[in-house]
Amino acid sequence: MPGSTSSAEPLRWGILGTGGIVRRWLPGFRATGERLVAVGSRDTARASAAAAELGAERGTTYEQLLAADDVDVLYNALPNGLHAEWSIRAAEAGKHVLCEKPLAATEAECEAMVAAAERHRVHLVEAFMYRYHPRWEVVHRLITEGQIGQVRLVRATFGYLLGADRAGDVRLQPGLGGGAAQDVGCYAVNLVRWLLGEPSAVDGVAIDRRGVGVDTHAAAVLTYPDGVLAEVACSFDAPLGQSVEIVGERGQIEVPFAFLPRGEPELRIGDQIERFPIVDQYELEVLAIRRLVREGVPSLTPGSDAIGTQRVIAQWRS
């Protein structure tokens, strides 16, 4: 497996795609000292322009990026519907992959990606960057230690207004794995599964309010054998914000701006407020990839975990 050198040595990265998420991810990446070798695009002129803008050493086609001997890891920032094809091809080329969430648009695609990574002995990681924020480590510890008693209910919400002027947005294209459940609902599902495990039943509603072929407003209830419930909601049609509430027998935990913190992150435990330093969770995500590749430290968000998330989303939208 690639990555037998010193754990402190930076990895050499390539980026598949030039979309907006790359610009959100890049400042954290730069802070790690990792090396950005190349940016790939279907259009060579666009690739060269993106490389100049993003500070990569060169722009390439996707195929050239896969074939590059000086790239260890690929960040797959393509639209959802292209994640499976290009992540599998990257694994076949011997590259580790950090793939944007959701890992793929279906359970079967996730399984194929995981199998390819295992077959070619490379790492596949789903880019749920929020999991690397120290605030969530504290939340998980509080629950595990029983600080609020047995959990009875989890509420997780993530939604925003996707303007009418964004009619051509990839999030609204069924052929590219669009929809609110895949774009932001996946955060809620990932979180609930991390805290509670796999549900015994999923009852949901997914509404295509714009007539574009994908859900734009959706909610679901996940039921667990011991009577624990989780409520998840997402939207492109309403500014739901991003919040998580975990209710136990003896108290509750609230996580405002749960997935994309704003300002000084807070954690509300009953009447108490715990504040955390401002950190870049994308930076922490990239550093975790380095530890995974160089030292074998397990990922918090392995690609294999995405299979269960897509199973829930499929039941939710059915």
The answer to whether domain 12-129 has CATH 3.40.50.720 is yes
Give me the mean pLDDT over the 197-220 stretch: 97
pLDDT of 263 higher than 60:
yes
In DSSP notation, 19-78 reads SHHHHHHHHHHHHTT-EEEEEE-SSHHHHHHHHHHHT-SEEE-HHHHHH-TT--EEEE-S
Region class of 33: left (phi > 0), else alpha (psi between -120 and 50), else beta: left
Q: 16 in helix, strand or coil?
A: strand
The radius of gyration computed from the CA coordinates of the chain, to the nearest angstrom, equals 19
Q: Are 236 and 159 in contact (CB under 8 A)?
A: yes
Give me the mean pLDDT over the 290-305 stretch: 98
Alpha-carbon torsion angle 30, 35, 41, 43, nearest 10: 100
101 part of the active site: yes
Among residues 95, 101, 133, 317, the one annotated as catalytic is 101
How far is it, in rounded angstroms, from Cα 130 to Cα 282?
Answer: 8
Residue the block writes with tokens 């009619």: 167
Dihedral sign for Cα atoms in the order 63, 66, 69, 70: positive
User: Tell me: the pLDDT tens digits for 23-69?
Assistant: 999 999 999 999 999 999 999 999 999 999 999 999 999 999 999 99
Query: In terms of CATH, what superfamily is 134-278?
Result: Dihydrodipicolinate Reductase; domain 2 (3.30.360.10)
- The predicted model scores a pTM of 0.95
For residue 7, the model assigns a pLDDT of 61
Dihedral sign for Cα atoms in the order 69, 72, 75, 79: positive
* Tokens at 59, concatenated: 């722009």
Between strands 266-269 and 252-256, the pairing is antiparallel
pLDDT of 6 higher than 60:
no
**In which residue ranges of the chain is CATH 3.40.50.720 found?**
12-129
**In which residue ranges of the chain is CATH 3.30.360.10 found?**
134-278
Give me the mean pLDDT over the 2-14 stretch: 71
For residue 214, the model assigns a pLDDT of 97
How far is it, in rounded angstroms, from Cα 83 to Cα 20?
Answer: 16
* Tokens at 298, concatenated: 């397990």
Non-local (6+) Cβ contacts of 53 within 8 A are none
How far is it, in rounded angstroms, from Cα 37 to Cα 295?
Answer: 22
What's the N-to-C CA distance of the chain in angstroms?
39
Comparison of pLDDT for 2 and 271, the residue scoring more: 271
